[in-house]
C-alpha cells in the first residue's frame, strides 16, 4: 500500500489534529493507515471492497481480506476497464479512441476518508473508494474521479471552491427478468400498484415505508446524510436530496447512494432503477445539480457582490452553462435512453434558457438570499455518472467565467414552447463534445477521445436491437 504521506483526500476535507484520537465509532472515514487498522478491528471487518467508478459509474474493483488491505498490498486494474461499453463490449479503435498498446495496469489508491461499512452484507464487510494512478504513480486524466478532481483543482487555482447539492430521482419497479416486456410499478403495502400523479404525496412514500426505512438505515451506517425524500410525479418515483458540499464528496455519495438504494430494493423483492426514461408515457428521472462558488479565504459566495446583488461571475457562469452545456450534454445524458427523457411536454427542459425560479428552463436560479445564491442545472439525467456530470457542469460554468460569456436575458415565461435547443440523440451529442476545443481545456482531450469512442460503440450495439415499435409498424406496412 502507499505510504501515509501519499494518501489521497477530497479537496477541502479537514485533517484531524494529531492530538485528537479518532473515534472508532465514527461511521465514515479515517485519516491514516493506523487508524484504518483500528477502525476495521473495532468492527470485526473480515472483507473489504476496494471500488472505483468506471465511465458508466458502475463500481469496479477488488475484494480482499481486511488483513491484506492494511498490509503492503498493491491493487491494480487493467486500463481496458475504462474502454468498454455498458454492455461489456470493446469498440473498434477509431479517431482519437485508442487502446493502451500493452493494456498495462492502473493502480488503485484507497481514499481512506471514504472508508465505511457495507451494511447489506451478512458477513462484516467494509468498502473504500479508490483513486486511479498509472503503474508508476503518474496521473491518469480520463478516469471519472480524476476528471472531476481536475475541474475542482482549476477552481482552487483561482482561490475558489465550488459547492454542489445533487437531487436524485429514481423509480421503484416490479421485478422483470425479460427485457422484452415493459416495466411496471410494484405493489406497495396496500397490495395495489401505485399510480402516477403522486407528486409530494406522503401516502405515496408510506406505500414503501419498510423499504425507505432500510434506505435510511443503510445510509446512516455508511455515514451518508439524506436531506429530504419525496414522492415524485411518476408511479413509485422517488427523489432523494443531499446536503450541499464539496463536489468530490457529493459525487462519492451519489455513487454510493445508487448502490445502497438498489440493494435496499432487492431486499424487498423489487428493483430500483436510475434509467432516465424507464416507462413509456411517464416522467423521466433527473439528477438536478445546485451549484455555487465560494472564495476559499473568505467563505463568501462568489455569485454575490458585497451589497447582495448578483456578481459578474454569476452571470458569466450562467453564460458558460448556456454556451457549453449543450456541447457537453453527453456527459449528463450518456445513453440512447437518456434522450427519451429530454423531449417536449415531458417535464424536462429541452432548451438552454435560464430564469429566476423558472422550472421550465435548463438553468434555474432558486429564490434565496445573497449568501445562498446558486444555479440549478436541470438537464442531467439520473442515469449519468455523477463524477462526469458534475465535472461537465462545473467546467462549463468555469469556462463562462474565464471567457466572460454573457448570458441571454432571463426567461420570464415558459421556455419549453419553442424548438429543442439541445442535441436530439446520442451521436449528435458525441459529435458536439468533440467539436469544442474549450471543453478539452477543462476535461482533457484524452478523456474526450476515450469517452466519445465508448459512446459510439454503445450506439452501434443499440442499433443491432430491433425494437417493438419497428415490429409493430414496419412488419406488415412497408
Q: How confident is the model at residue 19 (pLDDT cuts 50, 70, 90)?
A: very low
The pLDDT > 70 percentage for the chain reads: 94
pLDDT of residue 315: 98
Virtual CA dihedral for 297, 302, 306, 310, nearest 10 degrees?
Answer: 180
Rounded CA separation 328/350 (Å): 14
Compute the average pLDDT of residues 250-267.
97
313: pLDDT strictly greater than 60: yes
Find residue 130's DSSP bridge partners.
Answer: 110
Tell me, what DSSP letter sits at residue 418? S
Given a cut of 70, whether residue 22 has pLDDT beyond it is: no
For range 443-463, the mean pLDDT: 96
Instruction: Using pLDDT thresholds of 50, 70 and 90, give the confidence band for residue 94.
Output: confident
Strands 354-356 and 363-365: parallel
How is residue 107 written as a grid cell? 493502480
**How confident is the model over 421-425, as a mean pLDDT?**
93
Q: Is the pLDDT of residue 430 over 60?
A: yes
Place 26 in a pLDDT band, splitting at 50, 70 and 90: low
254 three-state secondary structure: helix
Question: What are the distances in angstroms from CA 79 to CA 99, 123, 307, 458?
Answer: 8, 31, 51, 19
pLDDT greater than 60 at residue 5: no
> How confident is the model over 451-463, as a mean pLDDT?
96
Average pLDDT over residues 69-79: 86
Contact indicator for 173, 191 with CB cutoff of 8 Å: no
| Helix ranges, 191-310 (H) | 202-206, 209-221, 247-267
Element (H, E) at 116: strand 116-117
pLDDT at 144 over 60: yes
Which range in 204-208, 311-315, 410-414 is most confidently predicted, on average pLDDT? 311-315
Average pLDDT over residues 143-168: 98
What the block records as the C-alpha cell of 147 is: 476528471
| pLDDT, tens only, 321-379 | 999 999 999 999 999 999 999 988 767 899 999 999 999 999 999 999 999 999 999 99
C-alpha triplet 280, 284, 286: angle, nearest 5°: 165
Of 207-211, 315-319, 405-409, minimum mean pLDDT range: 207-211
Q: What is the pLDDT of residue 346?
A: 66
- What is the spatial distance between Cα 170 and Cα 24, in angstroms, rounded to a whole number? 34
pLDDT higher than threshold 90 for residue 265: yes
- DSSP assignment of 71-101: SS---EEEGGGGG--TTS--PPPBTTB---T
The DSSP string of 277-288 is S-STTS---BEE
pLDDT for 243 equals 93
Question: Which of 23-37, 113-127, 200-214, 298-312 is the least confident region?
Answer: 23-37
Going by C-alpha positions, the residue among 47, 64, 46 that lies closest to residue 1 is 64
Q: Which residue has the cell 480482499?
A: 64
Measured on CA atoms in the order 4, 5, 9, 14, is the torsion positive or negative?
positive
Residue 245's alpha-carbon distances to 36, 252, 294, 343, 464, in angstroms, are 24, 11, 11, 31, 42
Going by their DSSP bridges, the two strands 125-134 and 47-53 should be labelled as parallel
Average pLDDT of the residues in 110-128? 96
Q: Is 28 left (phi over 0), alpha (psi -120 to 50) or beta?
A: beta
Eight-state DSSP code of residue 444: -
Tell me the CA distances in angstroms from 126 to 27, 66, 115, 262, 458, one per residue in order.
11, 8, 7, 18, 33
Residue 160 has pLDDT above 90, yes or no: yes
| Integer Cα distance of 41 and 312 in angstroms | 52
Contact in structure between 401 and 71 (CB atoms under 8 Å): no
Whole-angstrom distance between the N-terminal and C-terminal Cα of the chain? 63
Mean pLDDT, rounded, for 89-112:
90
CA quadruple 426, 430, 435, 438: dihedral, nearest 10: 110
Torsion sign over Cα 312, 315, 319, 320 = positive
> Dihedrals φ, ψ of 330, to 5°?
-65, -20
Residue 348 DSSP one-character state: S
Element (H, E) at 431: helix 426-435
To the nearest whole number, what is the mean pLDDT of the chain? 91
Distance of CA 203 to the CA centre of its chain: 29
Cell numbers linked to 138: 503518474
pLDDT in tens, 178-202: 888 899 999 988 888 887 777 778 8
| Burial class (CB within 10 angstroms; exposed 0-12, middle 13-18, buried 19+) of 77 | buried
pLDDT of residue 345: 73
> Mean pLDDT, to the nearest integer, of 13-35?
62
Contact 277, 338 (CB under 8 A): yes
Per-residue confidence band for 203, with pLDDT thresholds at 50, 70 and 90: confident
8 pLDDT higher than 60: no
pLDDT given at position 179: 87
Is the model more confident about 14 or about 147? 147
Confidence of residue 32 (pLDDT cuts 50, 70, 90): very high
Give the three cell numbers for residue 433.
463534445
Amino acid at each position: 500500500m502507499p505510504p501515509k504521506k501519499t494518501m489521497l483526500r477530497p479537496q477541502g476535507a479537514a485533517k484531524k489534529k494529531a492530538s485528537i484520537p479518532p473515534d472508532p465509532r465514527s461511521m465514515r472515514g479515517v485519516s491514516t493507515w493506523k487508524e484504518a487498522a483500528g477502525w476495521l478491528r473495532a468492527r470485526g471487518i473480515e472483507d473489504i471492497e476496494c471500488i472505483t467508478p468506471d465511465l458508466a459509474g458502475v463500481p469496479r474493483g477488488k475484494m480482499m481480506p481486511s488483513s491484506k488491505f492494511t498490509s503492503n498490498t498493491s491493487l491494480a486494474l487493467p486500463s481496458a476497464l475504462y474502454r468498454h461499453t455498458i454492455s461489456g463490449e470493446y469498440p473498434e479503435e477509431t479517431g482519437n479512441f485508442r487502446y493502451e498498446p500493452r493494456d498495462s495496469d492502473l493502480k488503485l489508491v484507497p481514499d481512506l476518508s471514504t472508508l465505511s461499512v457495507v451494511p447489506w452484507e451478512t458477513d462484516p464487510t467494509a468498502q473504500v473508494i479508490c483513486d486511479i494512478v498509472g503503474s508508476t504513480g503518474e496521473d491518469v486524466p480520463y478516469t471519472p474521479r480524476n476528471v472531476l478532481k481536475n475541474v475542482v483543482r482549476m477552481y482552487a487555482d483561482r482561490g475558489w471552491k465550488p459547492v454542489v447539492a445533487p437531487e436524485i430521482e429514481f423509480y421503484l419497479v416490479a421485478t422483470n427478468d425479460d427485457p422484452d416486456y415493459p416495466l411496471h410499478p410494484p405493489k406497495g403495502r396496500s397490495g395495489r400498484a401505485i399510480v402516477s400523479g403522486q407528486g409530494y404525496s406522503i401516502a405515496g412514500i408510506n406505500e414503501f415505508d419498510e423499504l425507505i426505512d432500510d434506505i435510511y438505515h443503510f445510509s446512516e451506517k455508511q455515514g451518508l446524510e439524506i436531506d429530504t425524500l419525496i414522492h415524485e410525479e411518476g408511479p413509485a418515483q422517488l427523489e432523494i436530496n443531499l446536503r450541499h458540499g464539496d463536489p468530490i464528496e457529493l459525487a462519492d455519495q451519489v455513487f454510493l447512494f445508487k448502490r445502497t438504494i438498489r440493494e435496499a430494493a432487492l431486499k424487498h423483492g423489487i428493483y430500483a432503477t436510475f434509467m432516465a426514461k424507464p416507462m413509456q408515457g411517464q416522467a423521466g428521472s433527473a439528477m438536478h445539480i445546485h451549484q455555487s462558488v465560494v472564495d476559499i479565504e473568505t467563505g463568501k459566495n462568489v455569485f454575490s457582490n458585497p451589497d447582495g446583488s448578483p456578481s459578474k461571475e454569476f452571470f458569466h457562469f450562467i453564460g458558460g452553462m448556456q454556451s457549453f452545456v449543450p456541447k457537453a450534454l453527453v456527459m449528463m445524458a450518456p445513453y440512447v435512453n437518456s434522450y427519451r427523457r429530454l423531449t417536449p411536454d415531458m417535464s424536462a427542459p429541452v432548451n438552454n434558457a435560464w430564469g429566476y425560479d423558472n422550472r421550465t428552463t435548463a438553468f434555474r436560479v432558486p429564490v434565496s438570499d445573497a449568501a445562498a445564491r446558486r444555479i440549478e442545472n436541470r438537464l442531467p439525467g439520473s442515469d449519468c455518472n455523477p463524477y462526469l456530470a458534475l465535472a461537465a457542469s462545473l467546467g462549463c460554468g468555469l469556462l463562462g467565467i474565464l471567457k466572460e460569456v454573457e448570458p441571454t436575458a432571463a426567461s420570464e415565461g415558459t421556455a419549453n414552447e419553442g424548438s429543442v435547443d439541445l442535441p436530439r440523440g446520442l451521436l449528435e451529442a458525441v459529435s458536439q463534445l468533440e467539436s469544442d476545443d474549450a471543453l478539452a481545456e477543462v476535461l482533457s482531450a484524452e478523456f474526450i477521445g476515450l469517452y466519445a469512442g465508448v459512446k459510439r460503440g454503445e450506439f452501434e450495439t443499440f442499433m443491432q436491437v430491433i425494437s417493438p415499435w419497428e415490429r409493430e409498424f414496419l412488419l406488415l406496412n412497408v
